[in-house]
Copies of this chain bind each other. A is one copy, B any other.
Amino acid sequence: MKLLNKKTTASILVIGNEILSGKTQDININFLAKRFSEIGHILEEVRIVRDNKYQIIKSVKELSKKYSNVFTTGGIGPTHDDITAECIAKAFNRKLVLNKIAHELLKNHYKKTGTELNESRLKMAYIPNNSLLINNSVSAAPGFKVKNVWVMAGVPKIMQAMFLEAVEPKLSKKNKIISKSVKILKPEGDIAVFLTKLQKNHKYLEIGSYPFYKPPDIGTTIIFRHTNDKKIDNAIKVLCKYLTKANIQFLR
């Protein structure tokens, strides 16, 4: 089930106790996942870890080795539980240094808003040596990129601005991964044998079967994913022909 021959892979590392305690429903993963589909990067894995040095360093190293890009969210603010920058520095044996550009950005931002650039806020200008900065048009404190790891804020509004304005434009654009679906008002067990055959005959496609269960609305959505529209349409044609023959109603 390869979506592409030369895959550009992605992984996300969510850093934050608030997700693991249940306090916060994460929405960053879904936002990024959709963008990756749009630009043809395959999101292979997501990890969510606590604000814990050992866990963050280990995960970043592992994901950085395995995938083309790693995107982290969370832990780059001014408080004691914001430890992402120092962890990334340690993971790649870099020094955590006062970044002059980041320092200027913070000075200007806080001057404009009449806020004191105190010791805690200054912490946000300490960034691993030789990083590329990621602009933050919302609250100034930048994200940064080290090797293949893009470090972004956790607050969705800020993360989204960073990604759309400063990260996505720098990522290679592959063919968009097209997704089409066929909805069937039958449980998936009714068409599973046929779907297995369909997948075997269209190995290059990603064919997923997703039951929905909200009685009396019980059925299955079949999702086809690939970069090639025609290949998807061919498989859908075969499916629809089968469904018609088997007298199973469907919606395209």
Interface set of A (CB-CB < 8 Å, partner B):
1, 14, 17-27, 29-37, 43-51, 55, 77-82, 115, 118-121, 123, 138-139, 155, 157-158, 177, 179, 187-190, 192-193, 195-196, 199, 206-214, 223, 225
Contacts and interface: CB of A to CB of B under 8 A. Distances in A.
A188 B48 contact: no
Given A79-B192, A120-B193, A48 B46 contact: yes
A164 to B, nearest CB: 15
A9 to B, nearest CB: 10
A17 B3 CA distance: 12
The A contact surface, by secondary structure, is: mixed
Given A45-B48, A115-B189, 12 more contacts: A19-B30, A21-B177, A22-B35, A44-B55, A77-B188, A78-B189, A79-B196, A81-B199, A81-B207, A81-B208, A118-B190, A120-B188
Nearest to A106: B189
16 contacts: A19-B46, A22-B34, A23-B210, A23-B223, A25-B30, A47-B47, A47-B48, A77-B209, A79-B196, A79-B209, A81-B208, A115-B189, A118-B193, A120-B188, A120-B189, A158-B213
Contacts of A139: 213
A232 to B, nearest CB: 14
Contacts of A79: 188, 192, 195-196, 209
Contacts of A37: 21-22
A223 B189 contact: no
